Amino acid sequence: MSEVSPENPNPMASPLTTNQLESDHFKQILNTLTTQVWFKDTLENVRWVNQAVCDFMGMPFDHIVGRNMADLLLKGDLQKVKEATQTIVETGQPILGRIVQTQYHADGKMRCLKIDRIPFLSDQKQVQGILVFCSDITELHETQSKLQRATRLFESFQHHSPIMKWAQDEHERYIMINRAYEDFLQVKASDLIGKTPADSRSPVINSAVIGKAVETTRQILNSDQAMEFEIQMTRNGMVHTLLVTKFPMDLGNHQKAVGGLAIDITNQKETQEQLLKVKQRYEFAINGTTDGLWDWDIGPFCWYSQRYKEILGYSETDHFSNKIEDSTELIHVDDRPYVWEQVRKCLEEDAQYDVEFRMKCKDGSFRWVRARAKAMRDKNGKAIRMSGSIQDVHDRVTAQMQLAKTNELLSIRNQELDHFAHLAAHDLRSPLRTIAGFGGFLQEMMQEQWDNPQAREYLSRLLGAAERMEGLIDSLLTFSRVGRSELDFSATNLNEVLELVCQDLKNEIDESNARIDSQTLPSLECDAMLIGLVFQNLLSNSIKYCVDQSPVIEIQNLSNEKQHIICIKDNGVGFSQKDVTQIFEPFKRLNNPSRKGSSGYGVGLSICKRIIERHHGRIEAQSTPGEGATFYIHLP
């Protein structure tokens, strides 16, 4: 290398030598180093590099020396280099031990370098150049980073672990505690490290706890064996149960320590106690229930509770087979196909198992039982067991059978009564029609010749009485029929029913100039003919008992999620609220003034009440004299 002279102002013309870098021998020494050695001027021109630089960059010596750092480094790296050079030029001081990340390695990957920069000064103490030593510490840096990450991870695990952890030296002084232990003892770690449990001011540690800690620590140090035990400590007025594990530790240099782990198992202990209580209650329930329990694993055997056996007359000392085939033999032969078909549906189709059948008792008699069960399945949906109960329903079933026979006889009696009522009505109508017929003939014959007004009045009253008697007979038959006839439930649109009723009442509506306003009514399951009869009686009454004005009838739909409510409101003469109960009794009349002078037979509202009640509903009325009446029909 040649020295730069004033006659050669271009420092890049040839490599530069300085007083500090003057001998080839010194360069040879630098070339043997694995550390990169750069020599550059203050303008970032490279004057000399050792072989380690060439190897690092994958470039020959001639391609590096004589070039500017701007040609060799990335923009980001160059800026950092210039900033360091500027600092050295201004201060004249070296910059040592700086760690940087760079990408000028031959493979282009990021490298971590430790860089020392040493200035070369002129006689006038001016910086002429900079000697740079770069050590590739990438692997060391990565190793340290991994170690730091592992250390942080371990410390974080220790810090955030819910398990209490601590360590004590041979003199029982704390040398390490984690946050869980610190929080439980309610003392800061800084106040515990270097102290024994007896020296701590924890409100949780009492003399009994200190004694246990000292005793177990000494045992472990002497035996070099771990130990586990439970201890109770009171914290904030609540007793906690801790499961403690203590174990020996070797600190090196013949120093021992004792490590500890503690888990708060208070909740687990409480859960165990609760499970024990549940188990006791379960056993009590099994022994105390009136139902007989059974559990079948879909195999040849089935478990039966003692109550199950007692229902069939077996005592605790009697032999009772657990084989499922023997249990099948106890089922009445006529009921077996049905019972096993229900079992199959429960296991294969997950159908509800709720059956009643007869079982043979110890004394040979048969009793009716009700069996209910649920199948348990594996993750694939296959039934793996079936558990249930039987209940003694013999008295109820036999009573139902007796009731069924009684109802059958009652039905026959009702049919006979209906037949008798029709015959009686026919027999009563015959003389009434005779009286009415001949009375009418007599009235026509004597109409022009009969001068006795009283006789005419008596004859008119006679004919009226006959007509009312026939009306009463018809009303009685209707009242009897709606109480005993079989209901024909079907989906019914009440708007259609109302329209048909209005058509039947067309003459009455037209004659009275009545107006009927109705909201849209619901559809429901009912006997359409009988509900139509309810509408007909209520509308007919509203028209009949509106005497001084045209009838106005409002029909409202007040239904909600729980029930259907139909409101029928009129502007008739009304009635007193104290008479509400009376108006629904058969053949009870209030004698209110009516449009045609007749108050009817007193059966219409009774028929309405009976029809609505047979539909499991109710009918209510509200009224004030002179202000009309409102009827509310409630249906499920």
Q: What is the pLDDT of residues 63-120, one digit of tens each?
A: 999 999 888 888 878 888 999 999 999 998 999 988 888 877 778 788 889 999 999 8
> In this model, does residue 367 exceed pLDDT 80?
yes
Tens-place pLDDT, residues 444-498: 666 666 666 766 676 666 666 666 666 556 666 666 666 566 778 889 899 999 9
Confidence class of residue 21 from pLDDT cuts 50, 70 and 90? Answer: low
200 and 306 together in one domain: no
Of 50-64, 370-384, 584-598, the range with the lowest mean pLDDT is: 584-598
Confidence class of residue 6 from pLDDT cuts 50, 70 and 90? Answer: very low
Separation of alpha carbons 102 and 225, rounded Å: 53
Average of per-residue pLDDT across 269-286? 72
Separation of alpha carbons 603 and 534, rounded Å: 12
Residue 44 contacts residue 50 (beta carbons within 8 Å): no
Separation of alpha carbons 260 and 221, rounded Å: 13
At residue 9, the pLDDT reads: 37
Confidence class of residue 15 from pLDDT cuts 50, 70 and 90? Answer: very low
Question: Cβ atoms within 10 A of the Cβ of 222, count?
Answer: 9
408 and 387 together in one domain: no
Q: Tell me which H or E stretch contains 387.
A: strand 383-392
Average of per-residue pLDDT across 549-565? 90
Residue 213 contacts residue 229 (beta carbons within 8 Å): no
261 and 328 together in one domain: no
* 276 located within any domain: no
520 and 614 together in one domain: yes
247 and 127 together in one domain: no
Confidence class of residue 561 from pLDDT cuts 50, 70 and 90? Answer: confident
Separation of alpha carbons 540 and 509, rounded Å: 9
Residues 6+ apart with CB under 8 A from 617: 563, 633, 634, 635, 636
Domain termination site, one of 434, 458, 479: 479
Confidence class of residue 5 from pLDDT cuts 50, 70 and 90? Answer: very low
259 and 339 together in one domain: no
* 3 located within any domain: no
Which of 69-78, 554-563, 591-600 is modeled with the greatest confidence? 554-563
Separation of alpha carbons 520 and 432, rounded Å: 45
Of 65-69, 155-159, 529-533, 566-570, the range with the lowest mean pLDDT is: 155-159
Of 17-26, 568-577, 606-615, the range with the lowest mean pLDDT is: 17-26
Average pLDDT, the chain: 82
Residue 353 contacts residue 372 (beta carbons within 8 Å): yes
Separation of alpha carbons 619 and 612, rounded Å: 7
The SS3 call for residue 635 is strand
> In this model, does residue 575 exceed pLDDT 90?
no
Average of per-residue pLDDT across 580-608? 68
Separation of alpha carbons 305 and 388, rounded Å: 11
* 9 located within any domain: no
At residue 8, the pLDDT reads: 36
Question: Percent of the chain having pLDDT more than 70?
Answer: 78
Phi, psi of 313 (to 5 degrees): 90, 15
At residue 582, the pLDDT reads: 77
Question: Percent of the chain having pLDDT more than 90?
Answer: 28
Domain termination site, one of 142, 175, 209: 142
Average of per-residue pLDDT across 14-26? 53
Residue 578 contacts residue 599 (beta carbons within 8 Å): no
107 and 59 together in one domain: yes
Residues 6+ apart with CB under 8 A from 229: 212, 216, 244
102 and 138 together in one domain: yes
Average of per-residue pLDDT across 221-229? 91
pTM across the whole model: 0.35
Residue 476 contacts residue 603 (beta carbons within 8 Å): yes
Of residues 561 and 420, the one with the higher pLDDT is: 561
Domain termination site, one of 392, 419, 439: 392
Confidence class of residue 2 from pLDDT cuts 50, 70 and 90? Answer: very low
Confidence class of residue 22 from pLDDT cuts 50, 70 and 90? Answer: low
Beta bridge pairs of residue 68: 45
- What is the Cβ-side half-sphere exposure of residue 434, based on CA atoms within 13 angstroms? 5
Separation of alpha carbons 303 and 325, rounded Å: 13
* CA-based nearest residue to 118, from 16, 28, 39, 44: 39
Q: How many domains does the chain have?
A: 5
At residue 420, the pLDDT reads: 58
Separation of alpha carbons 556 and 7, rounded Å: 119
> In this model, does residue 314 exceed pLDDT 90?
yes
CA angle 479, 480, 486 (to 5 degrees): 105
* 155 located within any domain: no
Confidence class of residue 504 from pLDDT cuts 50, 70 and 90? Answer: confident
* 152 located within any domain: no
Residues 6+ apart with CB under 8 A from 176: 165, 166, 167, 193
494 and 623 together in one domain: yes
Structural domain for 254, as ranges: 161-269
Q: Residue 347 belongs to a domain with what CATH number?
A: 3.30.450.20
* 151 located within any domain: no
- Tokens read off for 28: 């040879």
Q: Residue 524 belongs to a domain with what CATH number?
A: 3.30.565.10
At residue 65, the pLDDT reads: 92
Q: Which amino acid is at 559?
A: S
* 429 located within any domain: yes
170 and 138 together in one domain: no
Separation of alpha carbons 205 and 244, rounded Å: 15
* 95 located within any domain: yes
At residue 362, the pLDDT reads: 94
Q: If you count DSSP H runs as helices and E runs as strands, how many of each does the chain have, helices first? A: 18, 22
At residue 459, the pLDDT reads: 66
112 and 62 together in one domain: yes
Of residues 123 and 561, the one with the higher pLDDT is: 561
97 and 33 together in one domain: yes
Separation of alpha carbons 574 and 626, rounded Å: 5
Separation of alpha carbons 375 and 347, rounded Å: 6
